Amino acid sequence: MSILFLSKLEFTLIFLLAIFAGLFINSLLYAQNLNTNHKIERISELIEKLEDYKQYIPKDSLDLSKDLVKNLSDDTNNNFDTKLLDEIAKVHIDFLNILITEAENKIKLEETSNKIKEEQQKYEQLSKYNSEITEELKNYK
Amino acid sequence: MINTKLLLASCIIIAALFVESIKSDEKDLVTGSENKIAVEKINESLAFIEKSNQEKLSGNLLKSQQYIKIAEIKLETGQSLLRSYLIKAKTAELENNLASIRSKNLLLKEEFRNNIAKLKQFKDNTTLSEELIYNNSLNNLESALSLINDAEKVDATIYSSNLLNKAYAHYQKASDNHNTGHYEESATYSEQSIEFAKQALQQSTNKYKEKENLRSNLSDIFGFTSDSVNSSIILSSEEVFSPQSSSIRFDLYPSLDKIAGTIKDYEDLKIEVKLYNNSFKSSNKNMALSNKQKDTIIGYLISKGINEKAFIEKKYTTKEITKQRKIEIILNN
């Protein structure tokens, strides 16, 4: 009823507002989807990076990660809750980053261990040379 | 149209801010304290399991599955964080060990350097000492040889043959030791050689001077010629006796007087008188004449103050005594 009392200008303004609101909601949904897709790409990148470190991380973790990313892509296309899908993608990225950190820590551990071996070898060699020289010095005292 | 573009641009900016926030979240998670975050993750995992159960009870199976997935990932994340925590702890322990070994190595290196420096110093000193010993040995050898040569020049082979032989024998030992690298022994032998050579030189020099002095005094005597053979001075004359006579020619008496006057001061002198004759055809006659002439000369010299004991008596063969007519007075000091 009341719409009949609106002037042409008012009607046009309300109409434009409704169009803008629609566009805004659409854009938000598009952004959400864009964000999730971006995360899936990021997950793929991280998995690729993890392949280089696979000897340093548990095989099960890598397999789980691969399965998750595959399912995530499928779920995105199967009308799952997009907010939760985004959350899954987010925690997955966290997980992969943690795995990479774990691998890097293991590498550091391995490097430190190797350095210790090198230093020990140096110490043993130096000790040997030193005792030889000490023996030789006795001849001059 | 303008407003639509503005709205779209705003959405893109919001999306970009989302991406940045994700990246900063990742950083926080990685740099945080693993064990605390691990516990948080596990707790979160449990919370998501609870949510999953609730959704399941509500009949919302899809959501329940999604919550389970989140729970599973969070649990894995927590486990990974715990492993990382343990690895970091182990790494820290190893780094401490590494620092300790490096510190030990540094100390050992320092000790090693010091020992090397000491050894080098010792070796340098030893080389210096060896050089000194070598040079000493060489110098002593040269000195010993030089003294031996000097002694030989003053007829030490005759006057001090015993000492000279000892000097030479020790020199030989010194030389052998030097050639085989026993420089200290060589130096000791050289020193002994030098001592003997010095003694030989001293003795011989006195005798040599005495002989040269005597020779000088007897060098210009009428009717006689003087000659020096080794340690002897030989005074020769063919004019003291006329042929087949045993009487001294009157003009030769002054010469014999001068000889007697000169040699009577040399108490250690040994005098040998030799007479040779070939005036007779018979050798026996020549020898008899020679003996007679010798007695005449010796008798005359004794009468002039020469000690009888200074004369050496020797038997000569006929062949020796008759080869040439002459008289020889041989003086040995």
- Tens of pLDDT, residues B100-123: 999 999 999 999 999 999 999 988
- On whether residue A2 sits in a domain, the answer given is no
Q: What is the mean pLDDT of residues B226-247?
A: 84
Q: Across-strand partners of B329?
A: B235, B273
* Predicted confidence (pLDDT) per residue in B291-303, tens digit: 888 889 999 999 9
Number of inter-chain CB pairs under 8 A, A vs B:
138
A60-to-A54, A65, A117, A135, B175 alpha-carbon distances in Å:
11, 8, 31, 57, 88
| Chain-chain contact of B66 with A75 (C-beta, under 8 angstroms) | yes
Domain containing residue A37:
7-138
Domains of chain A: total: 1
Tally of CB atoms within 10 A around A72: 20
Please name the member of A92, A97, A129 whose beta carbon is closest to the beta carbon of B29. A97
Residue A109: inside a domain, yes or no?
yes
Higher pLDDT: A43 or B13? It is: A43
* Residue A105 covered by a domain: yes
Determine contact: B87 vs chain A, CB below 8 A.
yes
Report how far apart the first and last C-alpha atoms of chain B are (Å, whole number): 151
Q: What does the alpha-carbon distance between residue B15 and residue A98 come to, in Å, rounded to a whole number? A: 24
Average pLDDT, chain B: 84
- Best B21, B45, B87, B107 residue to mutate vs chain A (most A CBs within 10 Å): B87
Question: Pairing between strand B232-237 and B225-229?
Answer: antiparallel
How is B269-330 classified by DSSP, letter by letter?
A: -EEEEEEE--SSSSHHHHHHHHHHHHHHHHHHHHHTT--GGGEEP----HHHHTSS-EEEEE
CA dihedral A88, A93, A94, A96 (to 10 degrees): 120
Q: Tokens representing B262?
A: 């000169």
Packing angle of the helix pair B2-31, A82-138 (nearest 10 deg): 40
Closest CA to B84 of A78, A102, A132: A102
Contact between B30 and A28 using a beta-carbon 8 Å cutoff: no
Q: Is B332 helix (H, G, I), strand (E, B) or coil?
A: strand
Name which of A104, A108, A129, A115 is nearest B100 in CA terms: A115
CB of B196 within 8 A of CB of B167?
yes
Which of B4, B52, B66 to mutate to probe the A interface, most A CBs <10 Å? B66
Say if A43 falls within a structural domain. yes
Do B267 and B273 contact (CB within 8 A), yes or no? Answer: no
pLDDT tens column, B273-295: 988 888 777 888 888 888 888 88
Is B128 an interface residue toward A (CB < 8 Å)?
A: no
Per the domain annotation, does A123 fall within a domain? yes
- Tokens standing for residue B230: 């080794």
How much is the pTM? 0.53
Residue from A16, A94, A97 to probe the interface with B (highest B Cβ count within 10 Å): A94
Please work out, in degrees rounded to the nearest 5, the angle formed at the alpha carbon of residue B226 by the alpha carbons of B224 and B228. 160
Would you call A1 helix, strand, or coil by DSSP?
A: coil
Taking the Cβ of residue B2 and every Cβ of chain A, the question of whether any pair is shorter than 8 Å is answered with no
- In tens, the pLDDT along A81-129 reads 778 888 888 999 999 999 999 999 999 999 999 999 999 999 999 999 9
What is the structure's pLDDT at A78?
Answer: 62
3-state secondary structure of B241: strand
Cross-chain CB nearest to B118 (options A94, A105, A137): A137
- Round to whole Å and give the CA distance between A67 and A56: 19
Cβ <8 Å between B90 and A109: yes
Cβ neighbours of A33 in B, within 8 Å: none
Average pLDDT over residues B297-324: 81
Chain B hits for A97, Cβ within 8 Å: 26, 29-30
Q: Which of B252, B328, B250 is nearest to B290 (CA)?
A: B328
DSSP characters over A26-91: HHHHHHHHHHHHHHHHHHHHHHHHHHHTGGGS-HHHHHHHHHHHHHHHHHHTTT--HHHHHHHHHH
Query: Residue B94 and residue A102: Cβ atoms within 8 Å?
Result: no
The reply to whether residue A95 touches residue B72, judged by beta carbons under 8 angstroms, is no
Span A58-85, pLDDT tens digits: 888 888 888 877 777 666 556 667 788 8
Residue percentage of chain B with pLDDT more than 70: 88
The pLDDT tens digits of the residues spanning B72-86 come to 999 999 999 999 999
**Rounded Cα gap, residues B48 and B42, in angstroms:** 10
Of B332, B328, B265, nearest in space to B298 by CA: B328
Q: Does B31 touch chain A (CB under 8 A)?
A: no
Residues of chain A neighbouring B100 (CB-CB closer than 8 A): none
Identify which of A35, A91, A119 has the shortest CB distance to residue B105: A119
Range B74-83 burial, b when 16+ CB lie within 10 A, else e: bbbbbbbbbb
- Residue A1 in domain: no
Q: Is the ipTM of this complex over 0.90?
A: no
| DSSP H helix total and E strand total for chain B | 9, 5
Q: Say which of B25, B77, B101 has its CB closest to residue A123.
A: B101
At residue B17 the predicted structure's pLDDT band, cuts being 50, 70 and 90, is very low
Please state, in angstroms and rounded to a whole number, the distance separating the CA atoms of residues A118 and B197: 69
Of the listed ranges A10-19, B11-20, B23-32, B134-143, the least confidently predicted one is: B11-20
Q: Judge whether residue B25 has pLDDT over 70.
A: no
C-beta of residue A104 within 8 angstroms of C-beta of residue B34: no
Q: Is the pLDDT of residue B31 over 60?
A: no
**pLDDT tens-digit readout, B189-231:** 999 999 999 999 998 998 888 888 888 888 888 889 888 887 7
Q: Tokens 């641009």 appear where? A: B9
Q: Taking phi first (over 0 means left), then psi (-120 to 50 degrees means alpha), and beta for anything else, what does residue A138 get?
A: alpha
